[in-house]
Structure 1
């Protein structure tokens, strides 16, 4: 009976599948550079939600004359656009974090993608990934800054090492079998440089993201992503219906970002960081969310949809960068209309679309006025006044495009300020922009023609004076000769 029991246990042990060993935590390695870029993006979004950045958005950016004239007069619309852009930037970064999370050993970290989507739609944070206090978040951001900087230094050191090794190989190859004394000395110095660079690279690999595990990196990124999302929803008052609601409490003075819908209800005074921690504010926000049905509502899908330019805008027609270039060219020519030649005018005219040319032709028809100093001064003031509010949007459009280009995305530097979509021509009304451009071109045409006529008159005056001077000299010479003959 004992033998049968023993055999039963053996058969059971053989037939049962062995439990898989725990997943081994691996280092980030060569992916450190991609991780550094991702960290930089998340930190940039976080700093775009600082008190100073939000105050700049609320009291400056959405009140720019160009934004009011061409995009919208409604504060809520403009703030909703800014909120959608920040949320979409976070969505893209979180997607990259989710891709890294698949390499983690911790099953909770591997589930980051689903957990983040659930938190966006329901406010649930079972893993408590939202950073609890401002001090903790500042400390975490400072640490990530140092990791990003160390990783950037590692990239430079590795590039320098590769260049040094390539230079040594080239030197040895060019010398053939025998090297001169000078080349031997140079090769020895190069070898010492390579050794020093290898030591530097080894040190930086230990201090940068290279030596960090995927679990450690994703854990840090997950906490930052969750905290940013909580900050966005709290500051902009993004409710479950995806429409901004008035803030009754806030983390800081940022409560002024979104105006109260009911002007008769006075909101409580904003609280400072000392009087209210992030944990308390987010807990209050979480309690407000308890009545929300735990159902996916597509928070990020709605944010992405809000960034699609509506019909009638320059973004919908894919004309924002082109018109920005035209406006910047007009601004440059308006500074020195006397220097604008036929080639520059032809180049500018070639940049215009058919619709702008039609508006310009209709505007110029029957309005050819004589060149007068008073009228020229009026046009100069009118063109300058229009460029004061239109040119900043054109420059912002160029910056916005550059900041989102592939080369810029590869950089790991943390920018302190960003250009928001609301500042650009992307959402601007196409008809209004084209009307303003036509008016600018009419004014520029008059200023250029006025300066050209003034130059012709000036040249003519100089010619007449030169003729008078030549006649006087000739008369003096003839008089001189007569005197000499008389003597």
Structure 2
């Protein structure tokens, strides 16, 4: 009876902690992506990134024209986005920590909340900057190996599928398949795949605690408590109307056309007009009313329009390109955990919080200028051809 009682207790313990001493396996790819986000967050809080935020991002002309010229408001926007990203990463770590054997790791939620509210780091998980840099190198290595594993597993799957389709395959094919499977097996041993939940989560919790400590050092407890609702775009913004990405693509298209107006055909012009929102179409019609009948043959006016469009693009174009970068870096389809994002683009540097009316006015101005330059180029070309025909 004593033996049976003991076995029952063992079974209950195993059922309560089914992943006892288990490896992360297929979850290694999700964890590699999570580590990449942690590295990105740490880089976002570096001295270089903070200096850039204060000296370049917040005072940038496009931001002050379309988003806000209130420095404190913009700083709160940046902090709110960073806080939200830290919280999202912590939520993912919490799901993994529930699979750990170590009781301290299983209590990650409570520890994180305590550190957030009171600054108490009971388990001393927060690392110094030097130790965190060393930890980052370890994570980067694990990310790279796990990314290679993912690639080789895809290759193995492709080879297996191809061989299944064949009625017969050679000894050479079998050898290639065997070598590929051995490579995958080897990479599993070296990568996150073969790491226990306790070991992985131990790395993750130390990283996120270090990031949180760094955030408090840079910004202070008050900024971290920023409400995530602060990131909700006001009703008069492109983000609220779900037009930020569409307008970004429109601006980039205009940028290309303005650089090479002589390459714009009637079909391209009509296609551009067809993708314009109704508000911009209406504004454009009002601006062009009464001038379409006049010949665009004033070279001085063409120079003035080129200069005006160049100035607008100098502050509007970066917001559009940043919008695309921000979207791609956070898109599941574009996410590659083997590559850190090349930039630390924040939402305030995009069109997301841009005032819709002001953004549309700037776009309309570009369209009016492009219309004149396009007509001027056609007029000059027609005159050149006419003069040539007279000589012939």
What TM-score results when the alignment is normalised by the length of structure 1? 0.74
Distance in 1 (CA, whole Å) between partners of 2:267 and 2:227 is 45
Q: Is the 8 A contact 1:48 1:417 kept in 2?
A: no
**Structure-1 residue corresponding to 2:219:** 236
**Deviation of the 1:83 alpha carbon:** 1.5
Equivalent position to 2:158, from 163, 187, 193: 163
Report the alpha carbon displacement of residue 228 of structure 1 after superposing the two structures with TM. Answer: 0.8
Structure 2 counterpart SS, 1:408: coil
Question: 2:177 matched to 1:194?
Answer: yes
Name the residue aligned to 2:314.
Answer: 388
1:314 counterpart (219, 238, 246): 238
| SS of aligned partner of 2:140 | helix
CA separation of 1:377 and 1:111: change in aligned 2, threshold 3 A = same
The size of the alignment, in residue pairs, is 383
Whole-angstrom distance in 1 between the partners of 2:362 and 2:306? 15
- Cα pair 2:116 2:221 within 8 Å, conserved: no
Rounded Cα–Cα distance in structure 2 between residues aligned with 1:355 and 1:315: 16
Give 1:141-156 correspondences, 5 Å limit. Answer: 141-156=136-151
1:350 to 1:238, Cα distance in 2 relative to 1, 3 A: farther
- Number of the residue aligned with 2:352: 426
1:58 alignment partner in structure 2: 54
User: Which structure's CA Rg is the greater one?
Assistant: 1
What is the CA–CA distance in structure 1 between the aligned matches of 2:68 and 2:51, rounded to whole Å? 19
Q: What is residue 337 of structure 2 aligned with on the other side? A: 411
- How far residue 443 of structure 1 moved from its aligned partner, in angstroms, is 0.7
In the alignment, the residues of structure 1 paired with residue 77 and residue 106 of structure 2 have an alpha-carbon distance, to the nearest angstrom, of 32
Specify the alignment match of 1:114 in structure 2.
110
Q: How is 1:76-475 mapped onto 2 (pairs within 5 angstroms)? A: 76-131=72-127, 133-171=128-166, 173=167, 175=168, 187-239=170-222, 242=223, 299=225, 302-367=226-291, 370=295, 371-409=297-335, 411-466=337-392
For residues 66 and 157 of structure 2, what CA distance do their matches in structure 1 show? 51
Distance 1:88 1:58, change over 3 A: same
- Do the aligned partners of 2:328 and 2:335 also contact (CA within 8 Å) in 1? no
Please give the alpha-carbon distance, in whole angstroms, between the structure 2 residues aligned to 1:347 and 1:437.
Answer: 16
Separation in 2, partners of 1:166, 1:440 = 53
Residue deviations 1:81-120, cap 9 Å, x none? 1121122112111111111111111222112123223322
| 3-state SS of paired residue (1:60) | helix
Q: Which has the higher contact order (CA 8 A, sep 6+)?
A: 2
The structure-2 alpha-carbon separation of the partners of 1:14 and 1:56, relative to structure 1 and needing over 3 Å to count, comes to: closer
CA separation in 2, counterparts of 1:118 and 1:347?
56
Question: CA distance change for structure 1 residues 317 and 18 in 2, over 3 Å: closer, same or farther?
Answer: closer
When normalised by structure 2's length, the TM-score is 0.91
CA distance in 2, matches of 1:167, 1:340: 46
Residue 407 of structure 1: how far off its partner (Å): 1.4
2:160–2:177: 8 Å Cα contact kept in structure 1?
yes
Q: Which moved more, 1:411-420 or 1:38-47?
A: 411-420
Deviation of 1:230 after TM superposition, in Å, equals 1.6
Q: Distance in 2 between matches of 1:164 and 1:44?
A: 34
Taking a change above 3 Å as real, the CA distance of residues 58 and 40 of structure 1, as seen in their structure-2 partners, is: same
- Deviation (angstroms), 1:373: 0.9
The secondary structure found in structure 1 opposite 2:23 is coil
Between 356-365 and 224-233, report the one with greater CA deviation: 356-365
User: How far apart are the structure 2 equivalents of 1:365 and 1:201?
Assistant: 67
Structure 1, unaligned stretches of length 5 or more? 1-9, 176-182, 244-298, 467-487
Distance, in Å, in 1 between the alignment partners of 2:262 and 2:75 is: 42
Once the 2 structures are TM-superposed, how far is the Cα of residue 306 of structure 1 from its aligned partner?
A: 1.6
1:25-46 deviation line (CA, Å, top 9, x unaligned): 2111111111111111111111
- The 1:217/1:330 distance shift into structure 2, 3 A limit, reads same
Shift of 1:410: 5.3
